[in-house]
Amino acid sequence: MSQRETWATRVGFILAAVGSAVGLGNVWQFPFQTGANGGAAFIVVYLLAVFLIGFPAMLAEFVIGRRAERNPIDAFARLGHRNWRVVGILGTLSAFWILAFYSVVGGWVIRYIIGSVRGAYFSGSEAYFGAVSAGPEAVAFHALFMAITVGIVAFGIAGGIERSTKLMVPSIVLLLGGLAIWATTLDGGGAGYAYYLSPDVDTLVSNIGSILPAAVGQAFFTLSLGMGAMITYASYLGRDDSLPIDGATIVVLNTFVGLLAGLVVFPILFSLGIEPGSGGLGAAFITLAGAFAQLPAGRLLGAVFFIVLLLAALSSAISLLEVVTSYLADNTSYSRPALATALGGAIFALGIPSAFGLSILAWYNAIAYNLLLPLSVLTLLVFVGWVDTGDAVAELRRGTGLSESGAVAWLWFVRTIVPLGVLVTLLLGLQTLAVDAGLLAEAIV
Ligand code: TRP
């Protein structure tokens, strides 16, 4: 077999991982989850979840990937635990599943860039969303988004993913930063900052049961955990840089971009008297597009915003396609372009139903959020925390000045607090799914 690929530079790996993390989850979902879950109170829990649960879990994925230098499925066998491959299989199938509908939303975003330039949604953002979000045209733009994703992955780790994310991630930060600065000039935007930045303790305490699973789920989704993406990216490291430092950089940058997105979205909405967070998946598109329609230079601002969203979505989608591609690239002799194309086609097909109705897409999303992600992270944590412990500690310390006790503290977290938090999230998430299924059944009867 030919030499396995590696990242060309350390910065390249970090930016690729940031690109994976920064996605629709940050720019589209995060501000609206915040709105739906009580504003700043949600952000407090979310930040705790990111640093106390997400960060240790990310290091767990890194440790597996770098040590095994294999795709998420074969990694477990390579580490001497063949039966644990089911964890990798679950993650890989989940990546397949998430990308299927993620790409449909990516297609909407392309559509909205064009729509912004033309002012197409200016006369009625709700009707526009209805027209573009489902139906044959949604399928066509889903295909376009997937084709671009395949095109990048086909060029490989250093030549495709690394090179493209080195351009995309800085562009996202610059454009979003520019929009955030512009947003400070909005009349009445101040209420948006207050809502966003000053937590209300009463809201927090009385809604913790619904805030917690939403915050933890959001933390996993935004950090790209539970789908083997970080295992896969770490498997191409082939070097001894510090995993904790790289991981912390990724987590901090990702959080920064999420908060920055809030500094754009909330002032815009509040300056126009719109309450964020009501409505479902489509709300972000409808309310924001509606806001751009009312703003001076709305066409330009809308186009810039949706370009940011497209870059963010693409740099995440490539990490999901890479998870599945890496499995076949490690195990077959087909060329990477051929594999990426075939898999992209299959994922495209799986996504088609979700391009025919918002409720179908919401169902795809709910399965991923409430079931696949937490289950996959939980099993992974049990593996690193209880099965592969000694080697994991050594791997975390490799290439760092981290003391044995520092690494053991991490392991302790991975064994206890983190899986407990995930377990609670999983149970609450399953309850949500059951309620949804009940509602669905009622609606049918
Ligand atoms: N993190 C991305 C976002 O915020 C989505 C994503 C990419 C993802 N890869 C993932 C989510 C792997 C879960 C697992 O939009």
| Contact residues for 214 (Cβ-Cβ < 8 A; gap 6+) | 33, 36, 37, 42
Q: Which atom of ligand 1 is nearest to the CA of 227?
A: 14
Mean pLDDT of 61-73: 95
Q: How far is the CA of 197 from the CAs of 30, 35, 41, 52, 205, in angstroms?
A: 14, 12, 9, 21, 17
Do the domain assignments include residue 3?
Answer: no
Range of the domain at 26: 10-444
- Give the C-alpha separation, 101 to 356, whole Å: 11
For residue 112, the one-letter residue type is Y
Could you tell me the distance, in angstroms and rounded to a whole number, from the CA of residue 187 to the centre of ligand 1? 34
Which pLDDT value is given to residue 69? 94
The answer on pLDDT for 440 being more than 70 is no
Cβ of 25 closer than 6 Å to ligand 1, yes or no, is yes
Question: Which of 420, 422, 414, 303 minimizes the C-alpha distance to 369?
Answer: 422
Higher-confidence position of 3 and 354: 354
From the CB of 106, is ligand 1 less than 6 Å away? no
Cα 224 versus chain centre, distance: 5
Neighbours of 275 (CB within 10 A): 10
Report yes or no on 48 lying in a domain: yes
Among 410, 249, 232, 445, residue whose Cα is nearest residue 322? 232
- pLDDT value at 312 more than 90: yes
Give CA–CA dist 110/201, Å, rounded.
Answer: 39
Q: What percent of the chain has pLDDT over 90?
A: 65
Q: How confident is the model at residue 389 (pLDDT cuts 50, 70, 90)?
A: confident
Output the pLDDT for position 296: 86
What CATH number does the domain containing 287 carry?
Answer: 1.20.1740
Could you tell me if residue 317 is inside a domain? yes
Structure tokens at 333: 């002799």
Residues 85 and 76 sit within 8 Å (Cβ to Cβ) = yes
Whether 233 shows a pLDDT value over 90: the answer reads yes
Predicted local distance difference test score (pLDDT) of residue 2: 60
Across 199-225, average pLDDT: 87
Mention every residue, 6+ apart, whose C-beta is less than 8 A from residue 36: 214, 276, 277, 278
The answer to whether residue 5 sits within a structural domain is no
Q: What is residue 362's predicted lDDT score, i.e. its pLDDT?
A: 86
| Region at 200 (left for phi over 0; alpha for psi -120 to 50; beta for the rest) | beta
* pLDDT (0 to 100) of residue 179: 95
59 burial type by CB count under 10 A (0-12 exposed, 13-18 middle, 19+ buried): buried
Residue range 318-346: mean pLDDT, rounded = 96
At residue 198, the pLDDT reads 85
% of the chain beyond a pLDDT of 70:
97
pLDDT tens, 3-56? 789 999 999 999 999 999 999 998 888 888 888 888 888 999 999 999 999 999
Ligand 1 center to 188 CA (angstroms)? 33
Residues 160-186 have pLDDT tens digits of 999 999 999 999 999 999 999 999 998
28 within 8 A of 284, measured Cβ to Cβ:
yes
Please count the helices (runs of H) and the strands (runs of E) in the chain: 23, 0
Which of 267, 284, 213, 215 shows the shortest CA–CA distance to 41?
A: 215
Q: pLDDT at residue 356 above 90?
A: yes
Q: What is the mean predicted confidence (pLDDT) over 329-347?
A: 96
Residue with tokens 């952000």: 43
Ligand 1 contact, 251 CB (< 6 A): no
pLDDT by residue (tens digit) across 234-291? 999 987 889 999 999 999 999 999 999 999 988 988 888 887 766 566 777 888 898 8
pLDDT of residue 445: 57
Flag whether 367 is in a domain: yes
Closest to 223 measured CA to CA, from 382, 377, 69: 377
In this structure, is the dihedral angle defined by the CA atoms of residues 113, 115, 118 and 122, taken in order, positive or negative? negative
Q: Distance between CA 89 and CA 376 in Å, rounded?
A: 9
Helices 404-415, 389-397: crossing angle, 10 deg rounding: 130
Higher pLDDT, 440 or 382: 382
Half-sphere exposure of 279 (CA within 13 A, CB side): 16
* Whole-number average pLDDT of the chain: 91
Please choose, from the candidates 111, 167, 97, 96, the residue with its C-alpha nearest in 3D space to the C-alpha of residue 144.
111
CA distance 401 to 393: 13
Per the document, the length of the chain is 445
Virtual torsion, Cα 375, 313, 210, 378, nearest 10 deg: 20
Q: Is residue 193 part of a domain?
A: yes
How far apart CA 56 and CA 420 sit, in angstroms, is 13
pTM beyond 0.95, yes or no: no
**Would you say residue 1 lies in a domain?**
no
What's the 206 CA to ligand 1 centre distance in angstroms? 30
Pocket test for ligand 1, best of 101, 145, 320, 371 (most atoms within 8 A of CB): 320
Angstrom distance (rounded) from CA 36 to CA 112:
23
Indicate whether 55 belongs to any domain: yes
Q: By alpha-carbon position, which residue is closest to atom 6 of ligand 1?
A: 224
Both tokens of 353, joined, read: 């139903």
Q: Which atom of ligand 1 is nearest to the CA of 312?
A: 15
pLDDT tier, 134 (very low <50, low <70, confident <90, very high otherwise): very high
Query: How confident is the model over 322-333, as a mean pLDDT?
Result: 95
Q: Is 365 in the pocket of ligand 1 (CB under 6 A)?
A: no
CA dihedral 248, 254, 258, 264 (to 10 degrees): 120
**d(CA 341, ligand 1 centre) in Å:** 21
Residue with tokens 């000039």: 185
At 147 the pLDDT is 98
Q: Are 413 and 420 in contact (CB under 8 A)?
A: no
Q: Is residue 311 in contact with ligand 1, taking CB distance under 6 Å? A: no
Q: What are phi and psi of 71, to 5 degrees?
A: -60, 160
Could you tell me if 276 and 287 are in contact, meaning their C-beta atoms sit under 8 angstroms apart? yes
Q: How many domains does the chain have?
A: 1
- 380 Cβ inside 6 Å of ligand 1: no
